[in-house]
Amino acid sequence: MWRAYGGITGVAVVMNGAPFLGSSSALNAYTSPVAYFSEASFGREFSKLLDGFAANAEMLGTLGEEQVLRNIFEAFRYALVCTKHPGFREEREWRVIYSPAYAKSDVLIPDIQSIRGVPQQIYKIPLKDIPDQSLVGIELHSLIDRVIVGPTQYPQVTYGALVSLLEKAGMTDARKRVVVSDIPLRQFD
């Protein structure tokens, strides 16, 4: 979808998802696939959740009220953050979720960035492995599978700039990993 949302020079960074699926809590950031639900299908899934509570009431009672409420809150929070209209299903999106109000990370770096003219709090992930906390595969050469330069008026200039930046960051095979897409896209002003 970067071709539609990336502006006039869209670029997709295809990443190795393994570090985001591992068991490390070093970042206190977690991944989830997006569920593409209509209102009706969301209702059916919610009913299944309620049926599961009823069917497992005895087991839930052994967890204690605080644990059950925490788990319900987390289920609702992930449902809120990771549900989209079924029209976006082709995206097959995964989300990385970081909620510093609930679990802060000593690794992530807070910053303020202006994104499309709106100043926002963001968190940067240092691209450095932390093996003693089981966080591996986030260094640039491991994390980036490839970079796709989307439709743009200047694909070779964009390609050259990206290769240069990746080489400057230490990626020795950047020329192989950056590719130019030949998929056409009409953009209207």
In a domain, 6, yes or no: yes
Q: Are 75 and 48 in contact (CB under 8 A)?
A: no
In a domain, 169, yes or no: yes
In a domain, 186, yes or no: yes
User: pLDDT tens digits for the chain (189 residues)?
Assistant: 565 666 777 888 888 988 888 889 899 998 899 999 999 999 999 999 999 999 999 999 999 999 999 999 999 999 999 999 999 898 888 888 999 998 999 999 999 999 889 999 999 999 999 999 999 999 999 999 999 998 788 889 999 999 999 999 999 999 999 999 877 666 555
In a domain, 111, yes or no: no
3-state secondary structure of 28: coil
In a domain, 173, yes or no: yes
Q: Are 96 and 31 in contact (CB under 8 A)?
A: yes
In a domain, 64, yes or no: no
Provide the domain limits for residue 164.
1-16+137-189
Rounded Cα distance between 18 and 35, Å, is 20
Rounded Cα distance between 27 and 110, Å, is 12
In a domain, 45, yes or no: no
In a domain, 164, yes or no: yes
Structural domains counted in the chain: 1
